[in-house]
Homo-oligomer: A and B are copies of this chain.
Amino acid sequence: MYTRLYRNQMETKEKYVIGLDFGTDSCRALVVDVRDGAEKATGVCFYPRWKNGLYCDAQANRYRQHPMDYVEAMTEAVREAISHLSPAEVAAICGMCFDTTGSTPALTDANGTPLALLPEFAEDPDAMFILWKDHTAVREAEQINALVKESGLDYLMYEGGTYSSEWVWSKVLHVINTNAKISAAACSWVEHCDWMTGLMTGNTQPESMYRSRCAAGHKAMWHERWGLPSADFLRKLHPRLADMLPRLYTETHTSGVRAGGLTAEWAVRVGLPVGIAVSVGAIDAHMGAVGASVAPGVLTRIIGTSTCDIMVAAKEEIGDRCIPGICGQVDGSVLPGYIGFEAGQSAFGDIYAWFKQVLSWPLQFIPDGEAKQRIQRDMLVELTRAAQLSEPSLTSVVALDWMNGRRTPDADQNVKGMIAGLTLGSSAPDIYRALVEATAFGSRRIAEHMQAQGLRIDSVNAIGGISKKAPFVMQTLADVMNMPIRVIRSEQACALGAAMFAAVAAGVYGNISEAIACMGSDVEAEYKPDPARVKVYEGLYEKYLELTKSANRVR
């Protein structure tokens, strides 16, 4: 219906939008046809300083990214994408929108400029963006959780009940606590997605720039009932945090809202038409869910090294209920007008990669070369092939997927992984299969947690690397969850979601549901539960739940 509507209005003229997806390592620019979501052109650029390992310390779990990495990579990615278009097609681009990792904040001066862009802080990692996976602020997160517990207002009621070291206030507090020069210079902070939008529209002024509802609600304890946490609350953490409050925000905006027009300066730099609509941005997984045609009753899973799980539900369905133990529920964080829910597993594909790493240990004793590279390259494929030679049984090896701690339900960085049911006959493929099943059990645990809180889940939509390259994993997931799983065809669902919001901000569609209906990607594969395996996995899942209890006792 929407398609017809659109075609009636627009059929004489092509229009394009551009979605810009900032991942952990690179920026992708995706030019999309607003009529049908066709992916017209794409460009990718890796962050040059990050690629060279600058400003990071893996031992200390410190991961920082220089703002110039973002600017340079985006410029390059956009220029590459539009190099595939004719001048007329470039001129038909009418909107843009950003998604980024999150929470990835930077401290700024009074003008909203990340401190690393000032000459005196250009090389100070504390002046840069603090990447989502930076874990330097573990102690500060504990401090925040303790303070929330003793304060009158439960700022965490909509964030799952536990504040993470990965989230903005922990990170800002850690830098303030440990770097006096930065502490003296910092006047505010900005999330990566908001800074990009502000930069493009010429409005990075911290007290007036457009802030993403998604990042604010899921990561910064913002809620429409109270705004950000109060000055009193922040002062107890550190007086400098309370000082920032006048240069922060009380209002937030959902994606699809037009934050402004592309400035002439940036239009020239990136090669896009001046004045095109720039939409309010959001965190990548949330945009990915939109790109995967999110809807009530569908669990959207972004499955890669870890997972991010996104749900939406109508406000009237949720009412006043708060769902504990997840990464938050925010009005409009995914789809305006719906409550968005975020959950996830701390490790998914990373667990397979870990096992490959363990099995690769003896390969250090053979000389580098083509043979060794081939073994390492094919190892997961061969393990999969061997694992599929036998069927799961109730006496199989069974594992617990907490090798990187637990994200949801009930975040806990201190729990660890297990492998049980081992015999002298347990082979490497047996263990690999158990690890695949463990990641699926962890997925089921999340779905059951949400269902127990009254959220309806009928099926799963999957995006991300694993969903496309690991059919064995996906089939196991369907069998364990006892739900059909659809893999979305788009390779760039996050950028596609951003492009949909760009189309809304540009006025092509009246709302995001219309954009999804016209621009949504189709499904490239559907995995249906196998009834025999479903039954076996019911039993193995009971063992998995038993292991979760054990792991809490053996930390």
- Could you tell me which A residues sit within 8 Å of B by CB distance? 347, 350-351, 354, 357-363, 365-366, 371, 374-375, 378-379, 382-383, 395, 398, 403-404, 416-424, 426-429, 431, 543, 546-547, 549-551, 553-555
Q: Are A424 and B547 in contact (CB under 8 A)?
A: no
Q: Looking at the complex, which one of B347, B366, B378, B426 makes contact with A424 (CB distance below 8 Å)?
A: B347
Q: How far is the CB of A334 from chain B (nearest CB, A)?
A: 29
Q: Which residues of B contact A416 (CB under 8 A)?
A: 420-423
Q: Looking at the complex, which one of B361, B366, B383, B420 makes contact with A427 (CB distance below 8 Å)?
A: B361
How long is the Cα–Cα vector from A347 to B423 in the complex, in angstroms? 10
Q: Which residues of B contact A550 (CB under 8 A)?
A: 420, 546-547, 549-550, 553-554
Q: Which residues of B contact A383 (CB under 8 A)?
A: 361
How long is the Cα–Cα vector from A423 to B350 in the complex, in angstroms? 10
Q: Are B362 and A375 in contact (CB under 8 A)?
A: yes
Q: Looking at the complex, which one of B375, B379, B404, B428 makes contact with A423 (CB distance below 8 Å)?
A: B404
9 residue pairs from A and B, CB less than 8 Å apart: A350-B424, A351-B424, A358-B427, A361-B427, A362-B362, A403-B424, A417-B421, A418-B419, A419-B420
Q: Are A420 and B418 in contact (CB under 8 A)?
A: yes
How long is the Cα–Cα vector from A379 to B359 in the complex, in angstroms? 12
Q: Which residues of B contact A419 (CB under 8 A)?
A: 418-420, 422
Q: How far is the CB of A246 from chain B (nearest CB, A)?
A: 41
Known A416-B420, A421-B554; 5 more pairs at CB < 8 Å: A350-B424, A358-B426, A362-B375, A395-B555, A546-B550
Could you tell me the dominant secondary structure of chain A's interface residues? Answer: helix
Q: Are B361 and A398 in contact (CB under 8 A)?
A: no
Closest 5 pairs (CB-CB, A-B): A361-B428, A550-B550, A417-B422, A418-B420, A419-B419
Residues A429 and B361 in contact in the complex (CB < 8 Å), given A546-B550, A546-B553, A550-B420: yes
How long is the Cα–Cα vector from A252 to B426 in the complex, in angstroms? 42
Chain B residue, CB-CB nearest to A418: B420
Q: Which residues of B contact A357 (CB under 8 A)?
A: 427
How long is the Cα–Cα vector from A359 to B365 in the complex, in angstroms? 13
Residues A378 and B365 in contact in the complex (CB < 8 Å), given A418-B418, A419-B419: yes
Q: Looking at the complex, which one of B351, B379, B424 makes contact with A404 (CB distance below 8 Å)?
A: B424
Q: How far is the CB of A315 from chain B (nearest CB, A)?
A: 38
Q: Which residues of B contact A398 (CB under 8 A)?
A: 554
Count copies of this chain in the complex: 2
Q: Which residues of B contact A423 (CB under 8 A)?
A: 403-404, 416-417
How long is the Cα–Cα vector from A359 to B363 in the complex, in angstroms? 10
Chain B residue, CB-CB nearest to A428: B361
Q: Are A361 and B359 in contact (CB under 8 A)?
A: yes
How long is the Cα–Cα vector from A419 to B357 in the complex, in angstroms? 17
Q: Which residues of B contact A375 (CB under 8 A)?
A: 362, 365-366
Residues A379 and B354 in contact in the complex (CB < 8 Å), given A419-B419, A422-B416: no
How long is the Cα–Cα vector from A347 to B424 in the complex, in angstroms? 9
Q: Are B429 and A551 in contact (CB under 8 A)?
A: no
Q: How far is the CB of A542 from chain B (nearest CB, A)?
A: 9
Q: Which residues of B contact A428 (CB under 8 A)?
A: 358-359, 361-362
Q: Which residues of B contact A417 (CB under 8 A)?
A: 420-423
Chain B residue, CB-CB nearest to A364: B382
How long is the Cα–Cα vector from A403 to B363 in the complex, in angstroms? 26
How long is the Cα–Cα vector from A374 to B366 in the complex, in angstroms? 10
How long is the Cα–Cα vector from A426 to B353 in the complex, in angstroms? 12
Q: Which residues of B contact A426 (CB under 8 A)?
A: 354, 358, 403
How long is the Cα–Cα vector from A268 to B111 in the complex, in angstroms? 106
Q: Which residues of B contact A420 (CB under 8 A)?
A: 416-419, 550-551, 554
Q: How far is the CB of A378 from chain B (nearest CB, A)?
A: 7
* Residue from A363, A378, A395, A418 having most chain B Cβ neighbours under 10 A: A418
Q: Which residues of B contact A351 (CB under 8 A)?
A: 424
Residues A354 and B424 in contact in the complex (CB < 8 Å), given A366-B371, A554-B398: yes
Q: Which residues of B contact A374 (CB under 8 A)?
A: 365
Q: Which residues of B contact A360 (CB under 8 A)?
A: 362
Q: Which residues of B contact A362 (CB under 8 A)?
A: 359-360, 362-363, 375, 379, 428
* Residue from A350, A404, A428, A429 having most chain B Cβ neighbours under 10 A: A428
How long is the Cα–Cα vector from A431 to B354 in the complex, in angstroms? 13
Q: Which residues of B contact A365 (CB under 8 A)?
A: 374-375, 378, 382
* Residue from A347, A359, A395, A543 having most chain B Cβ neighbours under 10 A: A359
Chain B residue, CB-CB nearest to A357: B427
